[in-house]
Amino acid sequence: MNSLRSRLLLAMTIILTAFLSISGYALFHSFSDSVQAATQDRLRGQVFSLIAVAELNTGIVQLSSRLPDARLNQEDSGLYAIITDSNNQIAWTSPSVTERIQVSLEKMRATELIFKRIRLKSQEDLFYLAFGVPWDDNQRQVTYSFHIFETLENYNKEIFRFQQHLVGWLGGAAVVLLILFNFLQQWSMRPLQNAGEELKLIEQGKQDYLGAHYPKEIERLTDDINLLIRSRQSRISRYKNALADLAHSLKTPLALIRSTIETNTTPQPSNQIINEQIDRMNQIVDYQLKRAATTGQSALALPIDIEKTTNKIIRSLCTVYQERGIQIEAEVDQQLFFTGDEGDYMELLGNVLDNAFKWTRHHIQLRVQASNQESGIFIQIDDNGPGLEPSMQERITQRGVTDPSEAGGHGIGLAVAKDIVASYSGKIVFRHSKLGGLCVRIWIYN
């Protein structure tokens, strides 16, 4: 079942069915109990009415021919009365009693009352109430038992009527609740429908991002989708820019190579110029590939184990520069994770740390920790090299700009680092280090 609507409707139907069934069961039994209680009160009233018209003369119970309820005078009317003496022998029966009313009569104590349902030999159910009445007979007190029986005809009629009404009420309530639930479902699902419609507009190129008017329950989802769209657009933009820059950057070396081939007749200078331009083109291609490969923030990126990745970079650089005997003090927060591209982090830290290895005399300090301001990480690298002039600290991350004292530099590494930092909405600053060289501080955010 792939439809949320169908799932919600099925769940609501099951819950509503269970709720109405339990409610109907409880209401039915409550009503049944109340009808039985009313029957008990009515039969008790019949007993008291018989007591009012009964007389005891020399051990014989006598009742008026005009009984309180006319049904007692009608044979097999559904209402029956029997009076038994203290020996539980029948002292009087109403004219309505027939031979089929053969039951075991309870011997009652004075003022004792019982009420229950009994079943005749004919399998007919009756309500039965018995009450013990103390009576003075020749200055001695005896107890007579008044027994009243009533068929379930009236009870069944009331129960049947109530069942019909109950089914109608609960059925009507179910229909009304399902209609209301359908409206509530449509209203609740509307934000998801809006998101689907906006995604179609984005696919058609009529809209750039999802709107910001979604409930907080799906706000994280829409924010991640927007972040994914921005990441994709940023990646496409970088690829386009890298291709455009690559094509533009290669024009001059290619033109110079063509001119050299066409105008020079001596091979040695010609080869030297061509080799220089080939090296230059390799540098350009490397730079553009590095720049295009920076990923930036991604909603679907897996968390990076910062300590593990940082130690991998340190080991690699220590191997490359092992002849110089450089000491590095690394302080990396354990269990620090960052949601981003691992290649970006390795490229960023690798370029900046490689620059520190290249320029330091013998000592580097590295600190990587969680950012105090926002969700992200903070990196600080100090070395005891010659450092940078203040005028160069603002320009060193520009493409092609190198320290004048640097031999063989191309101005690519720190430019790539700046692009990566920018793709994570971060910043990179250069300061004078307490070790005497350069201090590089980097903030990147999830």
CATH of the domain at 18: 3.30.450
Among 157, 177, 209, the domain boundary falls at 157
Residues 152 and 8 in one domain: yes
pLDDT of amino acid 26: 93
Among 109, 131, 157, the domain boundary falls at 157
**Longest Cα separation, the chain:** 161
pLDDT of amino acid 395: 67
Kindly give the pairing relationship between strand 337-339 and strand 363-370: unpaired
Residues 282 and 379 in one domain: no
Structural domain total, the chain: 3
pLDDT of amino acid 408: 44
pLDDT of amino acid 424: 86
Residues 11 and 144 in one domain: yes
Q: Is the distance from CB of 131 to CB of 143 less than 8 angstroms?
A: no
Residues 274 and 389 in one domain: no
Residues 70 and 143 in one domain: yes
Residue 170 lies inside a defined structural domain of this protein? no
pLDDT of amino acid 257: 75
Residues 10 and 118 in one domain: yes
The phi, psi pair for 54, rounded to 5°, reads -90, 145
pLDDT in tens, 243-267: 765 665 576 677 667 766 776 655 5
pLDDT of amino acid 225: 85
Residue 164 lies inside a defined structural domain of this protein? no
Residue 267 lies inside a defined structural domain of this protein? yes
Residues 268 and 403 in one domain: no
Amino acid type, 289? L
Residues 90 and 16 in one domain: yes
- For 24, other C-beta atoms within 10 Å of its C-beta total 16
pLDDT of amino acid 81: 92
Among 271, 293, 315, the domain boundary falls at 293
Residue 215 lies inside a defined structural domain of this protein? no
Q: Name which of 368, 373, 330 is nearest 348 in CA terms.
A: 368
- CATH code, domain carrying 401: 3.30.565.10
Give the span between the Cα atoms of 54 and 48, in whole angstroms.
Answer: 10
Find how far residue 76's CA is from the centre of its chain: 67
pLDDT of amino acid 298: 60
Residue 132: give the domain boundaries.
Answer: 4-157
Residue 196 lies inside a defined structural domain of this protein? no
Residue 192 lies inside a defined structural domain of this protein? no
pLDDT of amino acid 312: 87
pLDDT in tens, 110-119: 889 999 998 8
Residues 349 and 382 in one domain: yes
pLDDT of amino acid 393: 65
> Which residues share a beta bridge with 305?
337
Residue 298 lies inside a defined structural domain of this protein? no
pLDDT of amino acid 365: 95
pLDDT of amino acid 249: 58
pLDDT of amino acid 41: 94
pLDDT of amino acid 255: 65
Rg, C-alpha atoms of the chain: 49
Residue 258 lies inside a defined structural domain of this protein? yes
pLDDT of amino acid 263: 65
Residues 25 and 153 in one domain: yes
Instruction: Report the predicted TM-score, pTM, of the whole model to 2 decimal places.
Output: 0.50
pLDDT of amino acid 256: 65
Residues 29 and 129 in one domain: yes
pLDDT of amino acid 407: 44
Residues 283 and 312 in one domain: no
Enumerate residue ranges in the chain where pLDDT < 70. 1, 58, 238, 241-242, 244-249, 251-252, 255-256, 259-260, 263-270, 273, 280, 283-284, 287-288, 290-301, 373-374, 393-395, 399-412
